[in-house]
Chain A
């Protein structure tokens, strides 16, 4: 039992579960910040998947790509939060449902 390794599929299962939880969070929550955090969950799930495949195939591409994902996540979060701050100046709420002026 100590010699067994975790099968790849279990790692991928974890990745999928976290991803789905992230999607559910985006759909359900009304607070903008929490929606953002759900997006971060999704990105992390993808990272797990990439690293797992790397481990099982002895490649290093996945890790590099994971590095890039983190990079992009950082950029995205900074800009996104800046936008939220700018929106908050116009309308002092973080309720996503209140920003509904872009309709027909």
Chain B
């Protein structure tokens, strides 16, 4: 019965958004902030209540579905507007509402002097509502609505400073690149409906092993299309170019949308469809490669950027690469674990950078920062804690999640994946601490007219909370199997990720035999794998060592001998390429954007101006010509008229008789 409150969870932020949007100007800044944060906190509390209700479900029932109403039905295609509560949903809900509330509170302080205060919070709440719809929907179409909704709100919020052309362009770029991914996602949903006749999650996942052949073309196509959609939303290769530009938006937007929630929607979707992905080993390999590759590539670019938010953006792309790497080798729990811990420390990092920017009055270039440690102690310490977490230092949360990803990439994957993961870890530690050292340590390169100051309490409290969560979040996934038989997150997500490979292979063999084809030998897949403890411990120590090496490197380069970076990169041929993000943006521009613009211009001049306008104007001209011919009938001569009367009368007679 507590579970009946499910439908309220996305409703609170939606109502908050509507109130703020329509009445924001009238009710004043304080009320707007109160309503926005209040609705998010209400959602969080309701999520807690729903969690309690879920725990009270009878044994054996793992999913609770609440159908609000039937949205539409067209023949056999019936779509409900329904919500689904299962372990995965609960994890995501907590992340979105919890971290979302904290960031809302921070934004109240950060956006205090901005114009259109109410517009920001209206869009922010709308985004939260759409994200909740995404994670709570019980069928693909509802998830797609949330998918589109968050993309839309991302566009609104990136282009929040709409008077800057770069902001508007960044918003458009984000939306268009997302659209490419969405198109693939929609194709996948259509294909799923074609194969299964339904798009409900529970129905599809139950029927999948019986309807799809393991490794067959259908499931590979479906999962590849789904994954392309995920790359669009989660900024992986090849659709990642929008995320660094999205830093044009205000910092709370970057923290919530581009660190904790929207970009993780792709990961959520892949984990939700884990059954489908498990049936297609080829897609899994692709996912792992793209995840690992993105992790390494984004880390290399992040090393050379000077804008503090860009570094964090590339770091996000890299960390999500980790999550996809985990998905690609089948370690979905590790992916979700990393998603949760990443939400904590990345949000803290972004909010911290926002605090820094706020403190030095808008400067974002790290070359003009330095020595801020003594001016902003709270910001500094929370920032350092989160950086240690992202670098993967024991006993912070990032250590456990990253380690789990690396372990599974070696054991369930192969050494290449592990190698990609380790290099990315090394680079992550390096550039994150480069960021810390350049911003907070050393000589102050800040503009003398600016007096850096610490941010107000409303901004530093969220930082402290998030840093605390980043510290203790690791408890969720400490592998206690060996000693206490308990890995909290793993056993929690077990009902969702459960996949019986043996029976799926049996079904596939059966289907192939029915089609008259020979089933390949799959016995090697059914070998049981044990969790090798000593290997894991060894890997833990190795990754710790790697992280320490990275930190030490950063220390050397930026504290001890600050001239080293310049000497090192002098004459390096690769630096130019890396610094310009491997010229990927320029490549896309030449390959896709310019041809589209030229094509549109051609269509405009030829088709629109000449053909369509010509037809319309031509019709008018023809009518004019006809009228001029008909004008001669009205001559003004009475006898002509009399003649016409008589002629008409006679022809009538002739016709009748």
Chain A residues in the interface with B (C-beta under 8 A): 23, 26-27, 30, 96-97, 99-104
Q: Are B639 and A96 in contact (CB under 8 A)?
A: yes
Known: A23-B646, A27-B646. A103 touches B636 (CB 8 A): yes
A96 surroundings in chain B (CB, below 8 A) = 637-639
* Shortest distance between the CB of B61 and any CB in chain A (Å): 85
Among residues of B, the one whose C-beta sits closest to the C-beta of A26 is B642
Which of these, B634, B639, B643, B646, contacts A97 with CB under 8 Å?
B639
Known: A23-B646, A27-B646. A102 touches B639 (CB 8 A): no
Q: Are A104 and B646 in contact (CB under 8 A)?
A: no
B639 surroundings in chain A (CB, below 8 A) = 26-27, 30, 96-97
Among residues of B, the one whose C-beta sits closest to the C-beta of A38 is B642
B634 surroundings in chain A (CB, below 8 A) = 102-104
How many residues of chain B get a CB closer than 8 Å to chain A's CBs? 10
List CB contacts (< 8 Å) of B490-527 with chain A: none
Among residues of A, the one whose C-beta sits closest to the C-beta of B647 is A27
What are 21 A-B contacts defined by CB distance under 8 Å? A26-B639, A26-B642, A26-B646, A27-B639, A27-B642, A27-B643, A30-B639, A96-B637, A96-B638, A96-B639, A97-B637, A97-B638, A97-B639, A99-B636, A100-B636, A101-B636, A102-B634, A103-B634, A103-B635, A104-B631, A104-B634
Q: Are A99 and B638 in contact (CB under 8 A)?
A: yes
- Dominant SS among interface residues on chain A: loop
* Shortest distance between the CB of A65 and any CB in chain B (Å): 20
Q: How far is the CA of A30 from the CA of B637 in the complex (A)?
A: 11
Q: How far is the CA of A96 from the CA of B643 in the complex (A)?
A: 14
B631 surroundings in chain A (CB, below 8 A) = 104
Q: How far is the CA of A96 from the CA of B641 in the complex (A)?
A: 12
B637 surroundings in chain A (CB, below 8 A) = 96-97, 100
A102 surroundings in chain B (CB, below 8 A) = 634, 636
Among residues of B, the one whose C-beta sits closest to the C-beta of A99 is B638
Chain B residues in the interface with A (C-beta under 8 A): 631, 634-639, 642-643, 646
* Shortest distance between the CB of A37 and any CB in chain B (Å): 14
A30 surroundings in chain B (CB, below 8 A) = 639
Q: How far is the CA of A101 from the CA of B646 in the complex (A)?
A: 22
A99 surroundings in chain B (CB, below 8 A) = 636, 638
Q: How far is the CA of A76 from the CA of B636 in the complex (A)?
A: 23
Q: How far is the CA of A97 from the CA of B638 in the complex (A)?
A: 7
Among residues of B, the one whose C-beta sits closest to the C-beta of A96 is B638
Identify the interface centre among B635, B638, B643, B646: most chain A CB within 10 Å of its CB. Answer: B638
Given contacts A102-B634, A103-B636, 4 further A-B contacts (CB under 8 A): A96-B637, A96-B638, A97-B637, A100-B636
* Shortest distance between the CB of B384 and any CB in chain A (Å): 91
* Shortest distance between the CB of B650 and any CB in chain A (Å): 9
B635 surroundings in chain A (CB, below 8 A) = 100, 103
* Shortest distance between the CB of A70 and any CB in chain B (Å): 23
A103 surroundings in chain B (CB, below 8 A) = 634-636
* Shortest distance between the CB of B638 and any CB in chain A (Å): 5
A101 surroundings in chain B (CB, below 8 A) = 636
Among residues of A, the one whose C-beta sits closest to the C-beta of B642 is A26
* Shortest distance between the CB of B543 and any CB in chain A (Å): 94
Q: How far is the CA of A99 from the CA of B631 in the complex (A)?
A: 18
* Shortest distance between the CB of B419 and any CB in chain A (Å): 90
Q: What are the 9 A-B residue pairs with the smallest beta carbon separation, nearest first?
A: A103-B636, A100-B636, A104-B631, A102-B636, A104-B634, A96-B638, A26-B642, A100-B637, A103-B635
* Shortest distance between the CB of A27 and any CB in chain B (Å): 6
Q: How far is the CA of A96 from the CA of B638 in the complex (A)?
A: 7
Among residues of B, the one whose C-beta sits closest to the C-beta of A103 is B636
Q: How far is the CA of A30 from the CA of B642 in the complex (A)?
A: 12
* Shortest distance between the CB of A6 and any CB in chain B (Å): 25
* Shortest distance between the CB of A96 and any CB in chain B (Å): 5
B646 surroundings in chain A (CB, below 8 A) = 23, 26-27
